[in-house]
Amino acid sequence: MPRSCWPAGRKRPGGSLFILALSLKDPVELWLEGIRFASDGFCVEVLDREIPLPDLSGINADHIMIWTDKVLDAGQQALYQRWLSSGLPVFLAGCEAARAQKDVAIKGQCSSTGSASLLDSLSH
């Protein structure tokens, strides 16, 4: 499993970020996201393979980005809702993330702009 942790490239620390994919067309997209967040001060770890139903219990990170290139199936939606309900610091990204966030928000009233709010919190 290729993984990499890039040290924060800026003066102000942004915490740690773990990136993984529920569905993935091109792993380069994950690496580009990792580079973007590393340049904003995060220590980034990337797992660049698809894991449809991951177990996040062993991940020790301040933030967990869940990438999705496909619409979440019912099991993935339920799993994502459980992560949010349990307080895990997860957010969705990828081309289908907005649709998935909207579906979960309707069910659980969650926030819908994960990566934007994560970067905004770093600037405050």
- Residue 95 in tokens: 């081309």
Tell me what pLDDT residue 108 has.
45
**Alpha carbon distance 21, 67 (integer Å):** 4
Length of the chain equals 124
* Strand ranges of the sheet holding 63-67, from the earlier edge strand across to the other edge: 5-6, 43-50, 16-21, 63-67, 90-93
Q: Are 100 and 80 in contact (CB under 8 A)?
A: yes
Instruction: For the chain, give the percent of residues with pLDDT over 70.
Output: 69
Domain ranges of the chain: 5-123
Q: What is the pLDDT of residues 61-106, one digit of tens each?
A: 999 999 999 999 999 999 999 999 999 999 999 988 777 666 655 4
Q: Which fold has domain 5-123?
A: Rossmann fold (3.40.50)
Model-level pTM? 0.74
